[in-house]
A and B are shown apart, each in its own frame.
Chain A
């Protein structure tokens, strides 16, 4: 799960990690009120969406005086912000962060990620703040310094010191950086984060270390123990059909193609998308219906797939293990008896009771296109996008 920058900064503030003074604003008027409350001359007006690259896209502006705050807030609020992370459609800005401008001497980077091969978290810093860290990683990897955090232990003060000195910090900066690094790790651990990036982490002219950004991803599997984080979820940042699928415990991701898919299992669902593409089609979605493919889940799956007007055919691919194919087939038949589906439905059932399932489909009222294999199913589903039933 992701949260907004202003929510992350609020959490940071409570955890003793220095951030600029600032508040969120949900309208242009509120932005001006926040400005007055901050009692400072220079502020930054920042669009709050769940994507990076906001500055380049015109979503971050430095403002001096309440007139400029009003002007920029007016420009940014409600704008469709397009960045390299939003996709071509962009995202509508509905929240702003108004915060005190910082007196920046240096821009650094700090991040924590999982190193999968060692099974340990790794704390990374770089002197190249403010730019895309992926570019630093490929262009000049020696500029990224790493310390691995030992299991059952925390980031140690000596590790934080190593990183601070490697960044070329000196004097009181060292003390501030060490404190901030240790706090960042404690925060990461206590909230079950899966990724954290502070880009930039700045050194001010008065030697303070301040987090100017906060990109935090939380481990979905651990959200059950963090009620306060769950409450920060902003559903307007998510695809409505994905939110609906989630409420039915279906794992759905919307894509841009025209062949809808309903599959059991994440790996097979990805494999099915891939084979659709291989046969000249484009998958419209990822949908893993999991281990319970009954009439109800199938009906919800259909509803969600069909809410996408681009979908021109549907491919159901189920490999029945514990799930019996005849039950799935009956589920599909029952679901379609209660809803109008006017595009071709290609169905491939393999595994437990596959033959019984095929017989059920053959006798069904709905005109299914039954496929005998994965390749056959993909070919038929792609071909069917041009057909009416």
Chain B
């Protein structure tokens, strides 16, 4: 078992003929993902270099190929519209990689998601991977260890790779790893994914990587406390040394009005009984210890 994606997921790539889209389509296919279609308006009827059929609209792609997931590599100016198009086409899971979408454009997308059955990961994220089965995104796949029992949820990109690498070095495989994105408005939160991992029998532990800005980590801590989440949870919060009022790369990573500090988040998580690593170098080791102590008790 895994969450959200597996070897039966059928993927359509929105923006398949762009530089990024073309490159990562090839990478995802090589990993074993079933890429069944691409969408580039005006290029419908053509095929990409790997013979994947291209359609003018997502709706056309879905009716021709039964695609149930979409990945978006569309430039920021058009990305929100691409999300709305995928929702309209009834796609189950959207993964929006695009960075730099204006917040004002994301408000209606969030609303459309709330009123549909579609789940979206991102935007501004590395994507999602169920190691050994399916990769939808841009992460380096070789650092993962397939068919494992630990899930990873993260607001970051490379810091997620760091955590996965540490888990793999400890001999711990991953069930599903999700980068939820660094923007102020995102489709899927820590809580959404924790609740999926709660029901996933394959997953025994979850790594949560948060960062400054917003209150998603505090909300997750509260949820864990309220819902008897009894799997191991290890967290790290990036930005303990970040100055207030400055946007630290990610549009969402900013301490504003005294809210969203790392220390508040760490305190909430610890109060909920979650192990929080002080050092980003200790994530793998800490999860190994936590899983071990669960076994012996």
Interface residues of A (CB under 8 A from B): 85, 114, 116-117, 119-121, 133-134, 137, 151-152, 189, 192, 194-195, 219-222, 224-225, 251, 253, 255, 263-278, 283, 286, 288, 319-322, 350-352, 373-375, 378
Contacts and interface: CB of A to CB of B under 8 A. Distances in A.
A375 B280 CA distance: 8
Nearest to B213: A116
Nearest to A114: B184
B30 interface: no
Nearest to A375: B281
Nearest to A152: B108
B77 A224 contact: yes
B288 to A, nearest CB: 15
Contacts of A277: 240-241
A225 B243 CA distance: 29
Nearest to B262: A274
A270 B253 contact: yes
Contacts of A350: 162, 165
Rank and list the top 3 A-B pairs by shortest CB-CB distance, nearest first.
A267-B156, A266-B249, A265-B158
B184 A116 contact: yes
A264 B240 contact: no
Interface stretch (B40-48, B64-72, B97-105, B192-200): B97-105
B111 A151 contact: yes
Contacts of A134: 257-258
B253 A266 contact: yes
Q: Is the interface of A mostly helix, strand, loop or mixed?
A: mixed
> A194, A251, A266, A274: which has the most chain B beta carbons within 10 Å?
A266
B154 interface: yes
A266 B278 contact: no
Given A219-B103, A267-B155, A271-B236, A283 B241 contact: yes
Given A253-B246, A264-B158, A189 B104 contact: yes
Contact of A116 (B185, B211, B257): B185
A222 B102 contact: yes
Contacts of B22: none
13 contacts: A116-B214, A134-B258, A192-B102, A221-B101, A221-B251, A267-B238, A268-B156, A270-B212, A270-B242, A286-B242, A286-B248, A322-B23, A350-B162
B257 A137 contact: yes
Interface in B102-118: 102-108, 110-111, 114
Contacts of B184: 114, 116
Interface stretch (B5-13, B137-145, B227-235, B268-276): B137-145
A242 B137 CA distance: 31
Contacts of B211: 267, 270
B165 A319 contact: yes
Interface residues of B, number: 66
A350 B162 CA distance: 9
Contacts of A375: 279, 281-282
Interface in B209-233: 209, 211-212, 214-216, 219
B107 A151 contact: yes
A268 B110 CA distance: 27
B119 interface: no
A116 B219 CA distance: 12
Contact of B76 (A221, A275, A351): A221
Contacts of B240: 274, 277
B205 interface: no
Contact of A321 (B158, B212, B280): B158
A265 B253 CA distance: 12
Given A219-B103, A221-B76, A117 B157 contact: no
Contacts of A117: 214-216, 219
A352 B281 CA distance: 19
Interface in B130-168: 138-140, 142-143, 154-162, 165
B238 A274 contact: yes
A174 B132 CA distance: 63
Contact of B158 (A224, A225, A319): A319
> B114, B126, B184: which has the most chain A beta carbons within 10 Å?
B184
B239 interface: yes
Given A270-B248, A286-B242, A322-B140, A195 B256 contact: yes
Nearest to A253: B246
B182 interface: yes
B216 to A, nearest CB: 7
Given A268-B157, A274-B240, A374-B162, 12 more contacts: A137-B257, A151-B110, A219-B104, A219-B251, A221-B100, A267-B209, A270-B211, A270-B241, A273-B241, A276-B241, A321-B158, A322-B138
A278 B139 CA distance: 28
> A265, A272, A322, A351: which has the most chain B beta carbons within 10 Å?
A265
A267 B237 CA distance: 9
Contacts of B139: 321
B138 A222 contact: no
A351 B77 contact: no
A123 B219 CA distance: 22
B120 to A, nearest CB: 11
Given A85-B245, A119-B111, A320 B219 contact: no
A119 B123 CA distance: 13
Given A268-B162, A270-B211, A322-B140, A253 B102 contact: no
A221 B258 CA distance: 23
Nearest to B154: A267
Nearest to A151: B111
A221 B103 contact: yes
A121 B241 contact: no
A128 B263 CA distance: 28
Contact of B104 (A195, A222, A267): A222
